Amino acid sequence: MARRPRSLVLLLAVVLVGVAGGVGARLLREGQHPERLPVRVVVTSSAAEISVAGEREGGCVEAAVLGECLPVVRVMHEPDEPLRALTLSGVVSPGISLLYWGCREGAGVPVCTPAPQPADAVVCVTTSSEHDLQASAACMELSGATRTPAPAARTEVVQFVPVTRDGRPAPGYQVTEVGRQQPDECFPAYSATAPDIVSCLPFVLGAHACWIEPDRTKVLCGRPGNNQLIRYDMRQPVASADPPAEERRGPLLIELRDGTKCTRRWGGPTPSWPGPLTAWYYCSGRGIIVQVADEPLISRRDPYWTVRLVDPREVGGDPVLQPYEVAFVHYAGRP
């Protein structure tokens, strides 16, 4: 399709909101609901029109990369839920999807769960089109993705939901078919908060969280912060799987307040330490999250939960348990 100037794209987006049956007025009333949070959104694209269901603010934010000042739209949304106020409209090339910056899931992600924002922060949205590489650079700058994000006021629980209500891949997720490898067995995922989410063996697949597809002969496996899903064919239909009880549930991903990401230990040799320590999560560049016998893995005291890390080089000695505060814990869920 013909490329449109960014200013036209943005104007169309705001006008579409304004004429869509009084959406702006409706959102203004919803904004008074105590459970909703305001999110400041900017959009920019040379490849498609992006509609935003929200209210135009008076000012704009300068995008130096583009040489433009982008209008800001205020959107009210439910806490801990993905943004649903933006859509691609008009004629859209096949395979093009929305990408978000300034979200809990990371930068350039297809699904965005906003965190509480400072007064001047924005969520920036463009598309996955090759024509929007400059727009992506602008979004990275405007959202602060190139800087260390300001910590949230407390530990936040995030649901990773890469599927729709009917079990299909959610919009914006890319699926890779894997025909050479098949899981040997699957069982209820340790991180599941909803039914029919499984972990699968062998360990080499790295299939920590997989969503059973409707025909139960395939699973979609993914991880937070990545829009790539792996589809595996099963040797036989997968049985129903109930989520573990809350006290037995473990996060799919733990993010420390310094930005370190910690993933579940999945196979391989177990470090050997004296005393009742169990290694659970590997934290890149930091160490290993451990659990002391008869104590919880995560201390859930407000405002920040804490975990204890051990330096893996202390194997065989008397390990020192270093506490770290947690910014986010991610679980595997469904809509």
Both 228 and 254 in one domain: the answer is no
pLDDT value of residue 32: 46
Q: Report whether pLDDT(273) > 70.
A: no
Residue 1 covered by a domain: no
Residue 252 covered by a domain: yes
Residues 160, 222: Cα–Cα separation, whole Å = 9
Both 31 and 128 in one domain: the answer is yes
Both 195 and 273 in one domain: the answer is no
Element (H, E) at 178: strand 174-178
pLDDT value of residue 313: 65
pLDDT value of residue 111: 82
Residue 241 covered by a domain: no
Residue 150 covered by a domain: no
The residue among 209, 233, 257 that closes a domain is 233
Q: 333 or 2, which is more confident?
A: 333
pLDDT value of residue 68: 86
pLDDT value of residue 270: 63
Q: How far is CA 235 from CA 110, 181, 182, 209, 311, in A?
A: 31, 10, 7, 18, 40
Residue 243 covered by a domain: no
Both 46 and 123 in one domain: the answer is yes
Whether the ω angle into residue 303 lies within 30 degrees of 0, i.e. cis, is yes
Do 84 and 123 form a contact (C-beta atoms < 8 A)? Answer: no
Both 205 and 255 in one domain: the answer is no
Do 127 and 50 form a contact (C-beta atoms < 8 A)? Answer: yes
Phi and psi of 193, rounded to 5°? -115, 5
Q: 9 or 282, which is more confident?
A: 282
pLDDT band at 17 (very low <50, low <70, confident <90, very high): very low
pLDDT band at 31 (very low <50, low <70, confident <90, very high): very low
3-state secondary structure of 140: helix
pLDDT value of residue 269: 60
Distance of CA 231 to the CA centre of its chain: 19
pLDDT band at 151 (very low <50, low <70, confident <90, very high): low
pLDDT value of residue 226: 79
Q: Report whether pLDDT(245) > 90.
A: yes
**pLDDT (average), residues 106-129:** 79
Both 131 and 169 in one domain: the answer is no
Q: Which two tokens stand for residue 153?
A: 């006021």
Residue 154 covered by a domain: no
pLDDT value of residue 147: 43
> Using CB atoms within 10 A of its CB, is residue 131 exposed (0-12), middle (13-18) or buried (19+)?
middle
Residue with tokens 């910590």: 151
Both 92 and 59 in one domain: the answer is yes
Residue 148 covered by a domain: no
Both 281 and 210 in one domain: the answer is no
Residue 299, beta-bridge partner list: 306
Q: What is the pTM of this model?
A: 0.58
Q: Report whether pLDDT(145) > 70.
A: no
Both 265 and 224 in one domain: the answer is no
Both 139 and 201 in one domain: the answer is no
Share of the chain above pLDDT 70, in %: 80
The residue among 143, 175, 204 that closes a domain is 143
pLDDT value of residue 138: 81
pLDDT value of residue 316: 59
Residue with tokens 């300034």: 102
Do 10 and 70 form a contact (C-beta atoms < 8 A)? Answer: yes
Residue 70 covered by a domain: yes
Both 317 and 200 in one domain: the answer is no
**pLDDT (average), residues 89-118:** 77
Query: 218: domain range?
Result: 160-233
The residue among 233, 268, 284 that closes a domain is 233
Number of domains in the chain: 3
**pLDDT (average), residues 37-46:** 90
Q: 158 or 67, which is more confident?
A: 158
Residues 46, 54: Cα–Cα separation, whole Å = 21
Nearest to 28 by CA among 38, 43, 42: 38
Both 181 and 100 in one domain: the answer is no
**pLDDT (average), residues 123-130:** 85
